[in-house]
Amino acid sequence: MPASAAKSFANKLETFDPNAPGDAAANLFGLPFTPAEAQVVVVPVPWEVTVSYRAGTAQGPAAIHAASLQVDLFDPEIPDAWKLGVALEPEDEVIATANQRLRPLAADYIGWLEAGSPATGSAAHSSVPDQVNAEGDKLIAWLKAKTGALLDAGKAVAVLGGDHSTPLGYLHALAERHEEFAILQIDAHCDLRPAYEGFKYSHASIMYNALELPQVKKLVQVGIRDYCQQEADLIEQSHGRIALFGQRFLSEEKFVKKSWKKVCGKIIAQLPDKVYISFDIDGLDPKLCPGTGTPVPGGLEFEEATYLLREVVRAGKTIIGFDLNEVAPGNSDWNGIVGARLLYQLLNWMGVSQGRIAARNHE
């Protein structure tokens, strides 16, 4: 951090009142830090071009930012959490504009597919996948460069989508800086479909694409409850590279009175020392994310998800990065409210795992 930014950061630590109401003109969670000053930078990616059911996730970062101003900053296990220094980057106008241009084209194309791909629409729709895939390549390159520069500046980085296709460029950046790591995915869906609906970088293909990075040694999936035969076959044929802890398994453990702590232990046993967390909000019970694009009955409770996060850190794992995706405003502020509180926990515990902020000893 440049000396001027370090001095400004120190001054703000001295003068900021964490008990005051959130300032609407301030950064994420009402904090006063700029991205240059912050230890942890959140990169918003307002992108939802390939969503295949309900749209709205491109507005997720803005909804979470707005709701974050009402989040109380005290955490009983991390009393100085706000001092970690978190800031949200501005949304990139080029990415937002490309999303606005391509989303209607992709939606019409998906509608055409669902209608059986009638010959009358072939000329109008046949070029859409190539257009979307080309922009997907640009998005990956942009995010890889963006997050890579932040990592090289000593920042911890999080990606805030948008749909679940968004973090792939960040994973590429991490793969260039870490020899190996695991992805801990919390999700209702496996996202292991190759080029779903013709879109190479579909939100339903993010983990298929991530596994093409050899540095991703393990994919541990939690809460999955909606997937196809092709995905089941891929998991079966992965020789243990993919570990599935689906909702059916989690429920059966609960029904035979297994504690959530023990279940979390089984999940964490699959993880190496370095972990990337990919959190699709639809991994939670839909009552917590009713606006999300593809809700599925079942899912984790909020405290189950955050307990797993804490246990990962308590087990000595380092969270090298994370994404939070698929938060859509819907018809109420509720989606942003839940998303903001989940984001705060993810940021804080990533900071603890990296030694940037201290947590109290847990008995």
Tell me what pLDDT residue 120 has: 83
Compute the mean pLDDT over every residue in the chain, rounded to the nearest whole number: 95
Nearest-Å Rg of the Cα atoms of the chain is: 20
Phi, psi of 319 (to 5 degrees): -85, 110
- Per residue of the chain (363 residues), give pLDDT as tens: 778 888 899 999 999 999 988 887 889 999 999 999 999 999 999 999 988 778 899 999 999 999 999 999 999 999 999 999 999 999 999 999 999 999 999 999 988 988 888 888 787 888 899 999 999 999 999 999 999 999 999 999 999 999 999 999 999 999 999 999 999 999 999 999 998 888 999 999 999 999 999 999 999 999 999 999 999 999 999 999 999 999 999 999 999 999 999 999 999 999 999 999 999 999 999 999 999 989 999 999 999 999 999 999 999 999 999 999 999 998 889 999 999 999 999 999 999 999 999 998 865
The pLDDT of residue 363 is 59
pLDDT of residue 23: 82
Confidence at residue 22, expressed as pLDDT on a 0 to 100 scale: 81
- 122, with CB counted inside 10 A (0-12, 13-18, 19+), is exposed
DSSP 8-state code for residue 280: E
Q: Tell me the CATH number for domain 3-16+23-353.
A: 3.40.800.10
Which run of H or of E encompasses 311?
A: helix 302-314
Domain ranges of the chain: 3-16+23-353
pLDDT of residue 270: 98
Q: Is the CB of residue 313 less than 8 Å from the CB of residue 273?
A: no
Which distant-in-sequence residues (6+ apart) come within 8 Å of 172 by Cβ?
A: 140, 144, 213
Q: Centre a 10 Å sphere on the Cβ of residue 66 and count the other Cβ atoms it contains.
A: 16
CA angle 182, 186, 188 (to 5 degrees): 135
For residue 312, the number of C-alpha atoms closer than 13 Å in the C-beta half-sphere is 32
- Tell me phi and psi for residue 275, to 5 degrees: -135, 135
> pLDDT tens across 110-157, in order?
889 888 888 887 878 888 999 999 999 999 999 999 999 999 999 999
Task: Give this prediction's pTM.
Answer: 0.96
Predicted local confidence at residue 134, as pLDDT: 96
Determine the straight-line distance between the first and last CA of the chain, rounded to whole angstroms: 36
User: Is the distance from CB of 334 to CB of 340 less than 8 angstroms?
Assistant: no
Q: In 46-168, where do the E strands start and end?
A: 86-88, 156-161
Q: Following CA atoms 201, 204, 207, 210 in sequence, which dihedral angle do they give, to the nearest 10 degrees?
A: 0
